Amino acid sequence: MTRPLLELRDVHTHIGAYHILQGVDLAVPPAAVTMLLGRNGAGKTTTLRTIMGLWRASQGRVSFDGAPVGGPGTRASPPDMARMGLAYVPENMGIFADLSVKENMVLAARRARNASQLDTARLEWIFGFFPALKKFWLHPAGKLSGGQKQMLAVARAIIEPRRLLLVDEPSKGLAPAIVQNMIDAFIELKQASTTILLVEQNFNFARLVGDHVAVMDNGRVVHAGSMAQLAADDELQTRLLGLSLGSHQ
Ligand SMILES: Nc1ncnc2c1ncn2[C@@H]1O[C@H](COP(=O)(O)OP(=O)(O)OP(=O)(O)O)[C@@H](O)[C@H]1O
Ligand SMILES: [Mg+2]
């Protein structure tokens, strides 16, 4: 088996007095999409934040490309993680409301100091998925609709090739046609060898995009395997997610 690009071993995270992650084991294989599923409050967002170095792992180890990046005694900062090629799209999107769509994109592209230095072919590729961003290129990001902000947040993460994308609930609030575009974007990124760890509540999205799946509950990964296996198993879906969404296509 190929070595995982990202690996968490027995990761514990405390937030204040609360023991939130209670021994997370997770392997994210390269050039594939791993879905992180689980009920509200299971610990998915905390896991992504711990990987990025936004929370400190109090026990265990986070490794990226074989090197320790998190855990007692080793904590790479969020800028360190970005330099290593990770991009994170948080649940609350993390865009700059007072800046234009264009300025948000320039800031996200570490290789560009102004718009003329953006990779135009890549930008057009992104506009193909999210045409609203082209239309509102010079508008303040804060004036975009919720779904358009979501598109901008994902566009910022993919404006440059990254080694690992961490994306928290990208389809939230999006119209079905744009959800389909987002699915197509992730599939194309995967074909270009990007590794993706995706939190998603929409199981239909998850099964179309995901190769692997990890299901969390109470601060731990309680199931890991192939997405195809979970998608085909109603009983397993009911047991792990509390809801069977049907294995039929
Ligand atoms: N800043 C915080 N302070 C205190 N508790 C927190 C904080 N952030 C998260 N938690 C708690 O940690 C647990 C896991 O939260 P987390 O946001 O990781 O869940 P999640 O799986 O992303 O849920 P959702 O699907 O609702 O986004 C929850 O019980 C939550 O209340
Ligand atoms: Mg969350």
Q: What is the DSSP string of 205-236?
A: HHHHH-SEEEEEETTEEEEEEEHHHHHT-HHH
Probe target for ligand 1 pocket from 37, 46, 47, 215, with the most ligand atoms within 8 Å of CB: 46
| Other Cβ atoms within 10 Å of 187 Cβ, number | 13
249: pLDDT confidence band, cut at 50, 70 and 90? very low
Ordered alpha helix ranges (H), the chain:
44-51, 78-83, 101-108, 120-129, 131-135, 146-158, 176-191, 203-209, 227-231, 234-241
Nearest CA to ligand 1 atom 7: 15
The pocket around ligand 1, CB under 6 angstroms, is made up of 15-16, 18, 20, 38, 40-46
Convert the pLDDT of each residue in 192-217 to its tens digit.
Answer: 889 999 999 888 899 999 999 999 99
User: Tens of pLDDT along 123-145?
Assistant: 999 999 899 999 999 999 999 98
Q: Which ligand is nearest to the CA of 22?
A: 1
According to DSSP, the residues that pair with 214 across neighbouring strands are: 36, 224
Pocket test for ligand 1, best of 19, 20, 167 (most atoms within 8 A of CB): 20
Q: Whose CA is nearest to atom 2 of ligand 1?
A: 15
Amino acid at 112: A
**For ligand 1, what atom is nearest to the CA of residue 201?**
25
**pLDDT value at position 31?**
94
Compute, in angstroms, the gap from residue 118 CA to the centroid of ligand 2.
Answer: 31
Ligand 1 pocket: which of 13, 14, 18 to mutate (most atoms within 8 A of CB): 18
- Residues 189 and 165: beta-carbon distance below 8 Å: yes
Q: What confidence tens digit (pLDDT) does each residue in 71-121 have? A: 998 878 989 999 999 999 998 777 899 999 999 999 999 888 888 888 999
Residue count of the chain, please give it.
Answer: 249
DSSP state of 140: B
Q: How far is CA 15 from CA 18, 19, 22, 43, in A?
A: 5, 7, 12, 11
pTM: 0.92
